[in-house]
Protein backbone atom coordinates (compact mmCIF):
# COMPACT_ATOMS: atom_id res chain seq x y z
CA UNK A 1 0.00 0.00 0.00
CA UNK A 2 2.96 2.30 0.64
CA UNK A 3 3.83 2.15 -3.08
CA UNK A 4 0.29 3.26 -3.93
CA UNK A 5 0.96 6.55 -2.13
CA UNK A 6 4.65 6.87 -3.05
CA UNK A 7 3.66 7.37 -6.67
CA UNK A 8 1.50 10.37 -5.77
CA UNK A 9 3.97 11.94 -3.32
CA UNK A 10 5.87 14.55 -5.32
CA UNK A 11 2.73 15.93 -6.98
CA UNK A 12 0.38 15.45 -4.00
CA UNK A 13 -1.95 18.41 -3.82
CA UNK A 14 -5.02 17.04 -2.02
CA UNK A 15 -6.84 16.26 -5.29
CA UNK A 16 -7.12 19.92 -6.29
CA UNK A 17 -6.73 18.84 -9.94
CA UNK A 18 -10.40 17.84 -9.75
CA UNK A 19 -12.35 20.67 -11.49
CA UNK A 20 -15.19 20.66 -8.92
CA UNK A 21 -12.73 20.93 -6.06
CA UNK A 22 -10.81 23.69 -7.85
CA UNK A 23 -14.02 25.63 -8.37
CA UNK A 24 -14.80 25.37 -4.65
CA UNK A 25 -11.37 26.27 -3.38
CA UNK A 26 -8.65 27.75 -5.57
CA UNK A 27 -5.68 25.89 -4.10
CA UNK A 28 -5.19 22.84 -1.91
CA UNK A 29 -4.01 24.89 1.07
CA UNK A 30 -7.40 26.61 1.29
CA UNK A 31 -9.05 23.23 1.99
CA UNK A 32 -6.44 22.39 4.61
CA UNK A 33 -6.79 25.88 6.10
CA UNK A 34 -10.43 25.17 7.00
CA UNK A 35 -9.25 22.28 9.21
CA UNK A 36 -6.27 24.28 10.53
CA UNK A 37 -8.45 27.24 11.58
CA UNK A 38 -10.93 24.89 13.24
CA UNK A 39 -8.12 23.06 15.08
CA UNK A 40 -6.50 26.29 16.28
CA UNK A 41 -9.84 27.36 17.76
CA UNK A 42 -10.11 23.99 19.59
CA UNK A 43 -6.46 23.90 20.62
CA UNK A 44 -5.28 27.47 21.25
CA UNK A 45 -2.25 26.02 23.03
CA UNK A 46 -0.86 25.03 19.64
CA UNK A 47 -0.05 28.73 19.11
CA UNK A 48 1.67 29.31 22.42
CA UNK A 49 4.14 26.44 22.12
CA UNK A 50 4.94 23.60 24.48
CA UNK A 51 2.46 21.07 23.02
CA UNK A 52 3.60 17.98 21.16
CA UNK A 53 1.47 17.09 18.15
CA UNK A 54 1.52 13.95 16.00
CA UNK A 55 -0.01 14.04 12.54
CA UNK A 56 -0.66 10.35 11.78
CA UNK A 57 -0.69 9.61 8.05
CA UNK A 58 0.75 13.10 7.55
CA UNK A 59 1.43 12.63 3.83
CA UNK A 60 3.57 15.54 2.64
CA UNK A 61 3.11 17.33 6.00
CA UNK A 62 0.69 19.88 4.60
CA UNK A 63 -1.58 20.09 7.67
CA UNK A 64 1.40 20.80 9.96
CA UNK A 65 2.74 23.35 7.46
CA UNK A 66 -0.59 25.17 7.12
CA UNK A 67 -0.96 25.17 10.93
CA UNK A 68 2.51 26.71 11.22
CA UNK A 69 1.65 29.27 8.52
CA UNK A 70 -1.27 30.29 10.77
CA UNK A 71 0.86 30.71 13.86
CA UNK A 72 1.06 27.24 15.41
CA UNK A 73 4.31 26.70 17.32
CA UNK A 74 3.88 23.10 18.41
CA UNK A 75 6.52 20.40 18.54
CA UNK A 76 5.34 18.66 15.34
CA UNK A 77 5.92 15.03 14.37
CA UNK A 78 4.52 13.30 11.31
CA UNK A 79 4.28 9.61 10.46
CA UNK A 80 3.06 7.77 7.40
CA UNK A 81 3.31 4.39 5.69
CA UNK A 82 4.72 6.06 2.56
CA UNK A 83 8.41 7.01 2.57
CA UNK A 84 7.79 8.96 -0.63
CA UNK A 85 5.24 11.16 1.15
CA UNK A 86 7.50 11.61 4.18
CA UNK A 87 10.36 12.75 1.96
CA UNK A 88 8.16 15.68 0.88
CA UNK A 89 7.70 16.98 4.45
CA UNK A 90 11.11 18.70 4.71
CA UNK A 91 11.02 19.88 1.10
CA UNK A 92 7.71 21.70 1.60
CA UNK A 93 8.47 23.12 5.06
CA UNK A 94 9.30 26.86 4.91
CA UNK A 95 12.60 27.69 6.65
CA UNK A 96 10.92 30.65 8.30
CA UNK A 97 9.12 28.17 10.61
CA UNK A 98 12.41 26.73 11.91
CA UNK A 99 13.22 23.03 11.88
CA UNK A 100 10.93 20.79 9.83
CA UNK A 101 8.76 18.29 11.74
CA UNK A 102 10.36 15.03 12.83
CA UNK A 103 9.09 12.13 10.73
CA UNK A 104 8.81 8.38 11.17
CA UNK A 105 7.76 5.53 8.90
CA UNK A 106 4.91 3.39 10.17
CA UNK A 107 4.92 -0.39 10.23
CA UNK A 108 1.32 -0.81 9.11
CA UNK A 109 -0.79 0.80 11.80
CA UNK A 110 2.08 0.83 14.26
CA UNK A 111 4.41 3.75 14.99
CA UNK A 112 7.78 3.79 16.74
CA UNK A 113 6.60 6.30 19.37
CA UNK A 114 6.44 5.77 23.13
CA UNK A 115 3.13 5.23 24.86
CA UNK A 116 1.68 8.54 26.06
CA UNK A 117 4.12 10.65 24.01
CA UNK A 118 1.78 13.26 22.48
CA UNK A 119 -0.54 15.97 23.82
CA UNK A 120 -2.44 16.17 20.54
CA UNK A 121 -2.83 13.78 17.60
CA UNK A 122 -4.48 14.38 14.25
CA UNK A 123 -5.42 11.97 11.48
CA UNK A 124 -6.68 13.79 8.42
CA UNK A 125 -8.00 12.20 5.22
CA UNK A 126 -6.32 8.89 6.09
CA UNK A 127 -8.93 6.48 7.46
CA UNK A 128 -10.78 6.19 4.17
CA UNK A 129 -7.55 4.70 2.75
CA UNK A 130 -7.18 2.18 5.57
CA UNK A 131 -8.89 -1.16 4.86
CA UNK A 132 -11.95 -1.52 7.09
CA UNK A 133 -10.52 -4.54 8.93
CA UNK A 134 -7.35 -2.56 9.83
CA UNK A 135 -9.04 0.57 11.18
CA UNK A 136 -9.35 -0.79 14.75
CA UNK A 137 -5.54 -1.16 14.87
CA UNK A 138 -5.17 2.50 13.84
CA UNK A 139 -7.57 3.68 16.58
CA UNK A 140 -5.68 1.54 19.12
CA UNK A 141 -2.31 2.98 18.07
CA UNK A 142 -3.57 6.57 18.24
CA UNK A 143 -4.92 5.89 21.73
CA UNK A 144 -1.61 4.34 22.79
CA UNK A 145 0.59 7.29 21.77
CA UNK A 146 -1.71 9.96 23.29
CA UNK A 147 -1.01 11.20 26.81
CA UNK A 148 -3.76 10.70 29.40
CA UNK A 149 -6.00 13.74 28.88
CA UNK A 150 -4.59 14.09 25.34
CA UNK A 151 -6.81 15.08 22.44
CA UNK A 152 -7.29 13.26 19.16
CA UNK A 153 -8.83 14.92 16.10
CA UNK A 154 -10.09 12.85 13.17
CA UNK A 155 -10.83 14.76 9.96
CA UNK A 156 -12.63 12.89 7.21
CA UNK A 157 -14.63 13.38 4.03
CA UNK A 158 -18.34 13.19 4.77
CA UNK A 159 -20.02 10.51 2.62
CA UNK A 160 -23.42 12.07 3.38
CA UNK A 161 -22.47 15.00 1.13
CA UNK A 162 -23.21 14.07 -2.52
CA UNK A 163 -20.58 16.47 -3.92
CA UNK A 164 -17.95 14.72 -1.81
CA UNK A 165 -18.89 11.33 -3.25
CA UNK A 166 -18.76 12.81 -6.77
CA UNK A 167 -15.27 14.28 -6.26
CA UNK A 168 -13.81 11.21 -4.50
CA UNK A 169 -15.00 8.93 -7.31
CA UNK A 170 -13.00 11.06 -9.76
CA UNK A 171 -9.77 11.64 -7.79
CA UNK A 172 -6.85 9.31 -8.69
CA UNK A 173 -5.39 9.06 -5.15
CA UNK A 174 -8.82 7.95 -3.91
CA UNK A 175 -9.18 5.05 -6.34
CA UNK A 176 -9.33 2.52 -3.45
CA UNK A 177 -11.01 4.78 -0.88
CA UNK A 178 -13.82 3.48 1.32
CA UNK A 179 -15.50 6.49 2.90
CA UNK A 180 -16.72 6.33 6.48
CA UNK A 181 -19.20 8.50 8.30
CA UNK A 182 -18.75 10.19 11.66
CA UNK A 183 -20.67 7.47 13.47
CA UNK A 184 -18.22 4.82 12.30
CA UNK A 185 -15.31 6.92 13.58
CA UNK A 186 -17.05 7.52 16.92
CA UNK A 187 -17.78 3.80 17.34
CA UNK A 188 -14.24 2.86 16.33
CA UNK A 189 -12.70 5.28 18.82
CA UNK A 190 -14.97 4.15 21.63
CA UNK A 191 -13.91 0.57 20.89
CA UNK A 192 -10.33 1.62 21.72
CA UNK A 193 -10.76 3.89 24.78
CA UNK A 194 -13.39 5.65 26.89
CA UNK A 195 -13.01 8.96 25.10
CA UNK A 196 -15.21 12.02 25.53
CA UNK A 197 -16.34 12.61 21.95
CA UNK A 198 -17.76 15.56 20.00
CA UNK A 199 -18.37 15.95 16.28
CA UNK A 200 -18.43 19.07 14.12
CA UNK A 201 -19.25 19.25 10.42
CA UNK A 202 -17.08 21.54 8.31
CA UNK A 203 -16.90 23.00 4.81
CA UNK A 204 -20.46 23.87 3.90
CA UNK A 205 -19.20 26.92 2.04
CA UNK A 206 -16.45 26.93 -0.62
CA UNK A 207 -13.11 27.19 1.23
CA UNK A 208 -11.97 29.86 -1.24
CA UNK A 209 -14.63 32.26 0.13
CA UNK A 210 -13.20 32.89 3.58
CA UNK A 211 -15.74 35.65 4.33
CA UNK A 212 -18.44 32.92 4.43
CA UNK A 213 -16.62 31.04 7.23
CA UNK A 214 -19.07 32.28 9.93
CA UNK A 215 -21.85 30.38 8.11
CA UNK A 216 -19.75 27.22 8.36
CA UNK A 217 -19.41 27.73 12.09
CA UNK A 218 -23.14 28.22 12.55
CA UNK A 219 -23.87 24.97 10.67
CA UNK A 220 -21.30 22.80 12.46
CA UNK A 221 -24.11 20.66 13.95
CA UNK A 222 -25.60 19.73 10.54
CA UNK A 223 -24.30 16.36 9.23
CA UNK A 224 -24.02 17.55 5.62
CA UNK A 225 -20.74 19.48 5.51
CA UNK A 226 -18.13 18.21 3.07
CA UNK A 227 -15.86 17.26 5.97
CA UNK A 228 -16.28 16.35 9.60
CA UNK A 229 -14.03 16.53 12.63
CA UNK A 230 -14.42 14.06 15.48
CA UNK A 231 -12.72 15.28 18.68
CA UNK A 232 -11.85 12.70 21.31
CA UNK A 233 -10.37 13.45 24.74
CA UNK A 234 -8.55 10.53 26.31
CA UNK A 235 -9.46 9.87 29.94
CA UNK A 236 -6.90 11.09 32.49
C1 LIG B 1 -5.00 11.65 1.17
S2 LIG B 1 -3.45 11.51 1.92
C3 LIG B 1 -3.64 12.63 3.29
C4 LIG B 1 -2.33 13.13 3.75
C5 LIG B 1 -2.42 14.14 4.89
N6 LIG B 1 -2.98 13.59 6.09
C7 LIG B 1 -3.18 15.37 4.46
O8 LIG B 1 -4.25 15.64 5.01
O9 LIG B 1 -2.68 16.08 3.57
C10 LIG B 1 -3.57 9.95 2.70
C11 LIG B 1 -2.30 9.55 3.42
O12 LIG B 1 -2.61 8.43 4.24
C13 LIG B 1 -1.50 7.57 4.19
N14 LIG B 1 -1.96 6.25 4.58
C15 LIG B 1 -2.66 5.38 3.90
N16 LIG B 1 -2.91 4.28 4.60
C17 LIG B 1 -2.37 4.48 5.78
C18 LIG B 1 -2.29 3.72 6.94
N19 LIG B 1 -2.81 2.50 7.03
N20 LIG B 1 -1.66 4.26 7.97
C21 LIG B 1 -1.13 5.49 7.87
N22 LIG B 1 -1.14 6.26 6.79
C23 LIG B 1 -1.76 5.74 5.75
C24 LIG B 1 -0.98 7.64 2.79
O25 LIG B 1 0.36 7.20 2.67
C26 LIG B 1 -1.16 9.12 2.50
O27 LIG B 1 0.00 9.86 2.82
Q: Give 45-54 pLDDT, tens digit per residue.
A: 999 999 999 9
- Is 126 near ligand 1, meaning CB less than 6 Å away? yes
What is the 57 CA–ligand 1 centroid distance (Å)?
4
Strand order in the sheet with 118-124: 102-105, 75-80, 52-56, 118-124, 146-157, 227-233, 196-202
Yes or no: domain 2-233 corresponds to CATH 3.40.50.150: yes
What is the 168 CA–ligand 1 centroid distance (Å)?
15
125-155 core/surface letters (b: 16 or more CB in 10 A; e: else): bbbbbbeeeebeebbebbbbbbbeebbbbbb
Residues 6+ apart with CB under 8 A from 214: none
Please give the angle made by the CA atoms of 102, 125 and 87, to the nearest 5 degrees. 35
Query: Helix or strand or coil: residue 187?
Result: helix
Q: What is the pLDDT of residues 161-212, one digit of tens each?
A: 999 999 999 988 888 899 999 999 999 999 999 999 999 999 999 998 888 9
Q: What is the 3-state secondary structure (H, E, C) of 107-167?
A: ECCECCCCCCCEEEEEEECCHHHCCHHHHHHHHHHHHHHEEEEEEEEEEEECCCCHHHHHH
Name the average pLDDT for the chain: 93
Helices (H), the chain: 2-6, 19-25, 28-42, 45-48, 62-69, 83-92, 135-145, 162-168, 182-192, 213-218
Spatial contact of 180 and 154, defined as CB atoms under 8 Å apart:
no
pLDDT of amino acid 12: 75
| pLDDT-above-70 percentage for the chain | 94
- Is 81 near ligand 1, meaning CB less than 6 Å away? yes
- Is 78 near ligand 1, meaning CB less than 6 Å away? no
Pocket test of ligand 1: the residue of 85, 126, 127 to mutate, having most ligand atoms within 8 Å of its CB, is: 126
- The ligand 1 atom at the shortest distance from the C-alpha of residue 123 is 6
Query: Helix or strand or coil: residue 205?
Result: coil
What is the 185 CA–ligand 1 centroid distance (Å)?
16
pLDDT beyond 80 at 2:
no
pTM of the model: 0.93
Amino acid sequence: MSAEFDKHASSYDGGIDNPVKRMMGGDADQFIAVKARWLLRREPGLRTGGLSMLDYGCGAGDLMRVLADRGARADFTGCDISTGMLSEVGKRWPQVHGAAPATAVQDGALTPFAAGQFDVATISAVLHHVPVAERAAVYAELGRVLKPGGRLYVFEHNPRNPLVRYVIARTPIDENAILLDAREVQDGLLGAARYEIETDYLMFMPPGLAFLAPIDRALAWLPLGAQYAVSARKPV
